[in-house]
Structure 1
Amino acid sequence: MNKINALFANNKDRKLLSLYFCAGCPTLEGTGDVIKAMERKGIDMIEVGIPFSDPLADGPVIQSAGTMALKNGMTVKKLFAQLKEIKDEVQLPLVLMGYLNPIMHYGIEAFFKSCVESGVSGTIIPDLPFDDYLKVVKPIADKYDIRVIMMITPETSEERIRFIDEHTDGFIYMVSSASITGAQSSFGDAKLAYFNHINSMNLRNPRMIGFGISNKQTLTSAQDNAAGAIIGSKFEPCSMKPVIRIWL
């Protein structure tokens, strides 16, 4: 069974926590050490960011991390080589998060083949059009048993959400707002209503809430309204405050 599916199947009675960090930051060779440290701390799933020069969905913290990673020399090829080195040491699911351009440059089939070879269980491609996913990417991802995770926002129609739920597997990434990544002090009534509406749809796939998880209040709220939470900007090792504080 794919590690993402196994994670959710085996942990229905507790809330999950996933962390995001950008590969190649703060140091080019530190990716494996960051992943192993996260696993030792009990993190359930890790999103590894592929740095890109034009990250449309990323806030300033993650953009800065990507810029530093690119300056350090991180590439898709280098990342796969690093992940392959630790494949036998890491048990938790790894999800690569990156934009379509560097993936296409690497080669779509080569990318998913390398995912298998390096122990990656899923991908998140924020700018991947859903039609292209269905026609081009999904058949290749299915061939290699790699999950392609889709995002939904408060602006995503119910029809679209149900279509995504029908044609994807693993989990659905619930973006807490339609804005870029970054911290928020709390979730307002409109966002809580959005969470409640999604839960009332009885979707097939579990959901993880990300974007804006910045303190104990937003973490608890996200975990109360989904299978778990995803933390990015508040953890990013390249930021000036890379430590997850006691509110976790």
Structure 2
Amino acid sequence: MNRLQQLFEKEQKGLLSIYYTAGYPNLGDTLKIAETLEQSGADFLEIGFPYSDPVADGPVIQASSKKALDSGMTLPILFEKLKDLRQKVSIPILLMGYVNVVLQYGVEEFCKRCQEVGIDGCIIPDLPMYEYEEMYQTSFKKYGISNIFLVTPQTSEERIRKIDGLSNAFIYLVSSAATTGGNLSVSESSAAYFKRIADMKLKNPFVIGFGISNRETFDAANEYASGAIIGSAFVKNIDRNNLEGSIKTFMKQFRS
């Protein structure tokens, strides 16, 4: 089992994941942010590799991606920045981004480099499930990289069952059909959606993302899931002039 699978084997509730963009606010900050987040109580991390057309991302993450790209962040540079990752950080790490970047780099080489630097899994929202199953699953398995699929309120039960069968870590439950950076409101419809997934008794745990911004929404998500993912709210609170201090202050509301 990789670190991600071990985490979900050990912890069933209350897991906190933080998403941030590689190369933001400065090109050299990626590893320092990971170190500080682990010290501040994050259970696992998602490092986004920037892309020029991030269709699922809201304005905060879009702006951070543009800044990172303008600073020169690329996938090869990200892997170089992460070469000392496992000397400094022990919690599971995922890379998150869009399939075009991975295809340009080469899927086999991407999985190989992930393994070399100590990445445990990937979230590639626009990678079609059938393409993963038919063309790329072998490479992911060969290098021990968990591929994380997204489920939305519109995803059919048949597709969810298929995703569950292809998954080996967790399933990313998107709280709504909106882009990132909204605010989770656990209405009757979203509560029914979360309960519907829970009642399916999937073999993989699920984690809720999109709209988790504070302790209240984090706790609400954790009533239904094994954990929750915070992205835009964290990225928005990063202070480039007080990187460690701003991260620790943000994390105190969840891990005080």
| Normalised TM-score (structure 1) | 0.96
Equivalent residue letter for 2:154: E
2:185 and 2:160 mapped to 1: Cα distance? 25
Structure 1 partner of 2:145? 146
Shift in Å, 1:88 = 2.0
Identity of aligned residues (%): 45
1:68 and 1:175 mapped to 2: Cα distance? 25
Matches within 5 A, 1:126-205: 126-184=125-183, 186-205=185-204
* SS of aligned partner of 1:235: helix
Structure 2 partner of 1:8? 8
1:215 and 1:183 mapped to 2: Cα distance? 12
The superposition leaves residues 10-31 of structure 1 with CA deviations (integer Å, 9 ceiling, x where unpaired) of 113x410000000000000110
Question: Match for 1:244 among 227, 245, 250?
Answer: 250
Structure 2 partner of 1:91? 90
Could you list the runs of 4 or more consecutive aligned residues of structure 1 that deviate by over 3 angstroms after TM superposition?
237-243
Instruction: Give aligned pairs, total.
Output: 247
Tell me if the contact between 1:234 and 1:244 (Cα under 8 Å) persists in the aligned partners.
no
The superposition leaves residues 143-184 of structure 1 with CA deviations (integer Å, 9 ceiling, x where unpaired) of 111000000000000110011001111100000001110131
Equivalent residue letter for 1:247: Q
The superposition leaves residues 92-128 of structure 1 with CA deviations (integer Å, 9 ceiling, x where unpaired) of 0000001001111111100000000011000000100
2:184 and 2:50 mapped to 1: Cα distance? 27
Gaps of 5+ in 2: 240-245
Shift in Å, 1:239 = 5.8
Equivalent residue letter for 2:9: A
1:148 and 1:197 mapped to 2: Cα distance? 23
* SS of aligned partner of 1:96: strand
Structure 1 partner of 2:80? 81
* SS of aligned partner of 1:162: helix
1:95 and 1:137 mapped to 2: Cα distance? 17
Equivalent residue letter for 1:115: C
Shift in Å, 1:186 = 2.4
Tell me if the contact between 2:175 and 2:184 (Cα under 8 Å) persists in the aligned partners.
no
| Normalised TM-score (structure 2) | 0.93
Shift in Å, 1:238 = 7.1
Shift in Å, 1:188 = 1.2
Shift in Å, 1:185 = 5.3
1:178 and 1:68 mapped to 2: Cα distance? 26
Shift in Å, 1:187 = 1.9
Distance 1:2 1:236, change over 3 A: same
Gaps of 5+ in 1: none
2:203 and 2:127 mapped to 1: Cα distance? 22
Equivalent residue letter for 1:72: S
Tell me if the contact between 1:26 and 1:237 (Cα under 8 Å) persists in the aligned partners.
no
Shift in Å, 1:189 = 1.2
Structure 2 partner of 1:57? 56
